Amino acid sequence: MNAEVARRVDWGDLRPRVLSAVVMLVIGGVELWLGGAPFAILVVALTGGMMWELARMTADPGRDLSLWLGALAAGMLAVNLWSPSPWMLVGLLVPAIMGATVQHAKRKMFFGYALVIMATGLSLVMLRESLGLAPVLWVFAVVIVSDVLGYFAGRIMGGPKFWPAISPKKTWSGTVAGWLGAAAVGYGFWAAGYGSWHLLWASPLVAFAGQMGDIVESAIKRRTGVKDSSNLIPGHGGLLDRFDALAFAAILTAVLHVLVPLFPLVKG
């Protein structure tokens, strides 16, 4: 990269993004390695935080019940994880229904994305507990690598926008770079014996799901007129800003696991 390109590219947010990412990787990595209750508690907390952010963004004036809805989401997921049963799954609908009831102006938006948040929390814990460490590491690696490569490729190469009306910063160059990076992650896991050959095609697909998750969250922010879902994470905005891609990626992985043998049934 020559000096002219370096001056043209805006790297002002790189340092806080990197520092925040390191902190998140350390905390998330330890909890993921431990699995069980520590990882479940982290996921429950993240689920409550994301629901809180969604409720804040979509609240009507005078109807901000975001703290209560965040607590309700965390509570209902915790109940499902500690007392799993088909009947308890219905409880995952409660935060979405309650939120759509009190958020009159944007009830359809709230209901749909609230279901995504609840499904994300359940998918992450179920993947970790049923298949072990490798599948969740793969999902995180696919999302992180595709996001990082997309960020740098988009900033350096630029080019046509992927979906300018919704996400004006996302480019085709960054999107394709993310797919290639995801494919490399899938090959690495397969070559190391931590997954089946299905990872070769599933990795770019999961990366695309993550990119669409980013776009959907961007659409919600544009409709509600906010720049970030919150300011909880320096350089990244809020939890939804950071984990929007992971949400769609985790849900798709849980669905693919039912359809094809992505990983051997060996826990670790």
Q: Is the pLDDT assigned to residue 200 strictly greater than 60? A: yes
Selected residue with higher pLDDT from 214 and 264: 214
Q: Is the pLDDT assigned to residue 235 strictly greater than 90? A: no
The Cα–Cα gap between 195 and 265 comes to 10
The pLDDT value recorded for residue 254 is 92
The pLDDT value recorded for residue 229 is 87
The Cα–Cα gap between 184 and 142 comes to 9
- Low-confidence winner among 54-63, 100-109, 158-167 (lowest mean pLDDT): 158-167
- Low-confidence winner among 3-12, 17-26, 151-160, 255-264 (lowest mean pLDDT): 3-12
106-133 pLDDT, tens digit per residue, is 667 778 899 999 999 999 999 998 888 9
> Are 222 and 161 a contacting pair, CB within 8 Å?
no
Selected residue with higher pLDDT from 184 and 22: 184
Q: Which pLDDT band holds residue 242 (cuts at 50, 70, 90)?
A: confident
**167's tokens:** 């996400």
60-99 pLDDT, tens digit per residue, is 777 778 899 999 999 999 999 988 777 677 888 999 888 8
The pLDDT value recorded for residue 39 is 93
- Low-confidence winner among 112-116, 176-180, 192-196, 229-233 (lowest mean pLDDT): 229-233
For the chain, the domains span 12-259
The pLDDT value recorded for residue 123 is 93
Q: Is the pLDDT assigned to residue 154 strictly greater than 80? A: no
Look at strands 161-163 and 167-171 and give their pairing: antiparallel
Assign 3-class secondary structure to the chain.
Answer: CCHHHHHHCCCCCHHHHHHHHHHHHHHHHHHHHHCHHHHHHHHHHHHHHHHHHHHHHHCCCCCCCHHHHHHHHHHHHHHHHHCCCCCHHHHHHHHHHHHHHHCHHHHHHHHHHHHHHHHHHHHHHHHHHHHCHHHHHHHHHHHHHHHHHHHHHHHHHCCCEEECCCEEEEEHHHHHHHHHHHHHHHHHHHHCCCCCCCHHHHHHHHHHHHHHHHHHHHHHHHHHCCCCCCCCECCCECHHHHHHHHHHHHHHHHHHHHHCCCCCCCCC
The pLDDT value recorded for residue 24 is 77
Identity of the residue numbered 238: G
The Cα–Cα gap between 7 and 11 comes to 9
- Low-confidence winner among 2-16, 37-51, 96-110, 194-208 (lowest mean pLDDT): 2-16
Q: Which pLDDT band holds residue 250 (cuts at 50, 70, 90)?
A: very high
> Are 124 and 61 a contacting pair, CB within 8 Å?
no
Q: Which pLDDT band holds residue 21 (cuts at 50, 70, 90)?
A: confident
Integer Rg of the chain from CA: 19
The pLDDT value recorded for residue 160 is 63
Q: Read off the pLDDT of each residue in 174-195 and give the average, rounded to a whole number.
A: 91
The number of CA neighbours under 13 Å toward the Cβ of 70 is 20
The Cα–Cα gap between 236 and 17 comes to 6
Angle, to 10 degrees, between the axis of helix 107-131 and the axis of helix 66-82? 30
